[in-house]
Amino acid sequence: MININKQRYHEIINLFIHNVTAPRNRILLLFTIEGILITLVNNIVGNNNNLFATRLGASDYELSLVTTLPQIIGMLVLIPGGILTDRMANKRRMVTASLALITVFYAVIGFVPFLSSYRLIIFLILIALSTGPMTIYNVSWQAYFSDIVNIEDRNSILTYRTSFTFLISIIIPLASGAILASAGTVGAKLRIHQAYFWMGAVMLLIQIFVLRQIKSSQEHSPSGLGIKNLKSALLELLHNKKFLGFVSVALFFYMTWQIDWTLYFIGQVKYLKMNEAWLSYVNIGGAVAQFLTIGFWSRLNVKYGVRFGIIFGTLGLSVYPIGMIMATSAPAAQGRVVFIIMHTIASLTMAVITLNVLQCLLQILPEKNKTLNISIYTVLITLSNAVMPLVGIMLYTHLGADLKALQTIFWIIFAARIVSTGLWTLRWWVLRKEV
């Protein structure tokens, strides 16, 4: 009996090793681990940047710069970064080089609170500059992913990767928010923010190691495209009707999404009186909703295609402004609970946005100069991200910078997102007979 059990045990272990080391499963596993690591970084660093800036003394306008300045830097590096990536036979080199540069910035930002009266402006400059390599990481990762993962495997690998990143997004905000909330003074909270940046730097180094373990049997010829050939590449892309149609719909979608990013934070902190713990509860509610529903959206993609599923994502996005209006119409104590409930409901469809926008983009991109084309698309989205949060703050200020102004803007945003839903629906209908 013992020998039989030992034999069965070894069979199970060998089967596990075989499954993990099989090329497809190995890529799935490594991309999942890599996704977990970048999500850890974004949760302990990126999601707390507004709070960090607030504790460094930022005003409402300066808070908008936490979003706007990085987007400007991102736009400046996208085209050169895309061209350089396309000239590489192995795009992983650009992915890992970008992560290494972000590591340096995060390590330095950790020392910002020591810089006295200059600390806020230096933080804004450094966090903006760190977005340059982060932007290149994002576009080069997308091109690298599409290079080594077959189109039939993309949905399943993205589903596994995203499922685990949502799980991390449930755990980490709760822990990081509780730690920040437990600190009794601003100085103590700043020291925690410093530790978060240094932890993020370490995780990025681990992420580089994981990416270097991903092997590909596919060979890709580097592009000979240079700055001198950029004009012809742009003209070629401008004649791609599918690309133009997708970009038009996606750009309007992102504009309606990005306009309230700073306003959302102001609504939570100024009017709903949320501290770090409450803000973490909001993030956790959204992450739980996405984690529980991503399997459903993945199966919907398999059955009806990614163009159909994205309709529900933008429709769910329309619920967020309604949640803010309802929450801020109640007393703060009740409003916080209402807000978390509505935010969680709205998040039920957010997973499909994470899964489908990239897949919709990769469907219509030509293989030639792929990273450059992704960069051009991302430039437009980044430009919107640089401008729209400022537009939201300007409208809020123009209307009186009070609760009525906030609610009025969110009604406008709700209407715009309904229009965006209509555009995604129209795109699906026009292309419904295509694979």
Q: What is the mean pLDDT of each run of 10 residues along the chain (435 residues)?
A: 48 43 73 91 85 85 81 83 78 92 95 87 92 90 84 83 82 82 86 93 95 71 59 77 90 92 88 84 86 89 90 93 94 90 94 88 79 80 84 92 94 96 94 78
Domain 26-213+239-430 has CATH 1.10.10.10: no
pLDDT score at 18? 46
Cα 320 to Cα 260, 297, 349, 419: the distances in Å are: 10, 19, 11, 15
Q: Answer for the pair 419, 311: CB distance below 8 angstroms, yes or no.
A: no
pLDDT score at 13? 42
CA dist., res. 324 & res. 139, Å (int): 32
Q: What is the pTM of this model?
A: 0.71
Torsion of CA 361, 362, 363, 364, to 10 degrees: 70
Please report the DSSP string for 43-99 in residue order: HHTGGGHHHHHHHTT--HHHHHHHHHHHHHHHHHHHHHHHHHHHT-SSTHHHHHHHH
CA dist., res. 25 & res. 160, Å (int): 11
Residues 6+ apart with CB under 8 A from 420: 249, 252, 253, 256, 314, 317
CA dist., res. 16 & res. 11, Å (int): 9
Residue 105: its H or E element: helix 92-109
Residue extents of the structural domains in the chain: 26-213+239-430
pLDDT score at 16? 39
Residue among 37, 81, 23 at smallest CA distance from 211: 37
